[in-house]
Amino acid sequence: MQVDYIIVGLGLAGVAFTKELAENNKSFVVFEDNSQNSSMVAGGMYNPVILKRFTLVWDAVDQLRLAIPFYRDLEEKFQKKYHYQINIYRILKSFEEQNNWFESCDKPLLSGYMKPEIITKKFKGIIANYGFGKLTNTGRIDTKNLLNDYRNFLTSKKLVKNESFNYDELEIEKEAISYNGIKAFKIVFCEGFGLKKNPFFKYLPMKEVKGELLTIHAPDLDVDFLIKAALFVLPLGNNYYKVGATFNWQDKTKLPSEEGKQELILKLESFISSPYKIVDHTAGIRPTVKDRRPLVGKHPTYQNLAIFNGLGTRGVMIAPKMAKTLYNHLEKEVVLPAEISITRFEKYFLNQDGTLQKS
């Protein structure tokens, strides 16, 4: 078997990169072993405003410019709905926060998202003594259904191998690589937290963060916007809501925990007074990086090995733009912006294995 690319991992990063390959008529095969599930469990929200400080997320406007058509394309391809426009109502905690809200609304880029008013309307079951700040042009991607449909589609084309990629069996030559009878020009690793097992790229400083989520049914809570306070409460329809998420830097398992559940319940009940029933509890590990920028680029020694990772807490927005950027780098030699290129961490690579030289 001869392909242009081998891809390891079919989460949001793998989806975005293989979509880019397909659009450029490049052939590929993907390995996926379900060892990680960040993209499957994600809340799927995209929101260009950091709701703690009311500042704009890094590169948000440009990322969204590419992300919205990217998901629309997939909706058209599979004739399914994945994109839901959902406003965000941020519960304000004090008069000071109300003032900060108005100040931020005046800033040029934020004014496209933050409405310059305080919503004082009372909603049954929500405790909000200082009202809400409203954000628009925000929304949710149903990543679970999208991923399942995309995986089924590639599987039907025989482009997915449902098995673990075994790094020891990769053979690297100057112009090509081979793996268990598959020859390719390049390989791109999109393993999320699975990166930690990858001997070629594990030198990169990933700071993985486990997140847990509940799905609740709250018959008396009836809103069509996302409520943001200590947690988010995201409407799924029919009075079902996704509630999340925790941030745990110690636990490296993707298993839901009792500790995580109790934390979510405690925080949820600080601003939701409606009765509810928990119907689901999930967890996953976010592949975050200490400087909160993606990990993109070629291996320092082996130029036909590349990485697409570090999507952190905002994979929905970042993945489509990063896929294009990495593709242009690998195929057209467009230089990567320094802030996303893994060359920013080369010192860790050399420290770890000083015998390897750049080719």
Ligand X SMILES: Cc1cc2nc3c(=O)[nH]c(=O)nc-3n(C[C@H](O)[C@H](O)[C@H](O)COP(=O)(O)OP(=O)(O)OC[C@H]3O[C@@H](n4cnc5c(N)ncnc54)[C@H](O)[C@@H]3O)c2cc1C
Name residues contacting ligand X, limited to 267-306 (CB under 6 A). Answer: 284, 286-287
Segment near ligand X (CB under 6 A); pick from 43-51, 64-72, 100-108, 298-306: 43-51
Which residues between 154 and 173 bind ligand X (CB under 6 A)? 164-165
The runs of H, that is alpha helices, within 240-314 are 258-268
Name the segment binding ligand X (CB under 6 A); options: 7-15, 70-78, 103-111, 350-358.
7-15
Do the Cβ atoms of 43 and 213 come closer than 8 Å? Answer: yes
Q: Are 22 and 3 in contact (CB under 8 A)?
A: no
Nearer to ligand X, 194 or 300 (CB): 194
Q: How far is the CB of 213 from ligand X (least distance, A)?
A: 5
Q: 137 φ, ψ to 5°?
A: 60, 35
- The residue assigned the tokens 């709701």 is 51
Chain-centroid distance of CA 30 in Å reads 19
Q: Is the omega angle on the peptide bond into residue 245 within 30 degrees of 0, that is, cis?
A: yes
Q: State which residue, 131 or 311, has the beta carbon closest to ligand X.
A: 311
90 binds ligand X (CB under 6 A): no
Of 61 and 96, which has the nearer Cβ to ligand X? 61
Report how far residue 20's alpha carbon sits from residue 210's, in angstroms, rounded to the nearest whole number: 29
In the complex with ligand X, the residue whose CB is nearer, 60 or 131, is: 60
Asked whether position 146 contacts ligand X by CB under 6 A, the answer is no
| 18, 39, 138, 341: residue in contact with ligand X (rule CB under 6 A) | 39
Considering only 86, 88, 213, 216, the residue that binds ligand X (CB under 6 A) is 213
If we measure between CA atoms, which residue out of 53, 143, 34 comes closest to residue 103?
53
Minimal distance, residue 164 CB to ligand X, in Å: 4
Minimum distance from CB of 117 to ligand X (Å)? Answer: 26
Of 275, 242, 245, the C-alpha closest to 257 is: 245
Show contacts with ligand X in window 221-260 (CB under 6 A): 244-245
- Dihedral angle of Cα 119, 120, 121, 127, to the nearest 10 degrees: 110
Non-local CB neighbours of 260 within 8 Å, separated by 6+ positions: 210, 212, 246, 248, 281, 283
Looking at 30-38, 74-82, 95-103, 269-277, which segment touches ligand X (CB under 6 A)? 30-38
Torsion of CA 284, 165, 334, 59, to 10 degrees: 0
Which spans of this chain sit near ligand X (rule: CB under 6 A)?
Answer: 8-14, 31-36, 38-39, 41-46, 164-165, 190-194, 211, 213, 244-245, 284, 286-287, 309, 311-317
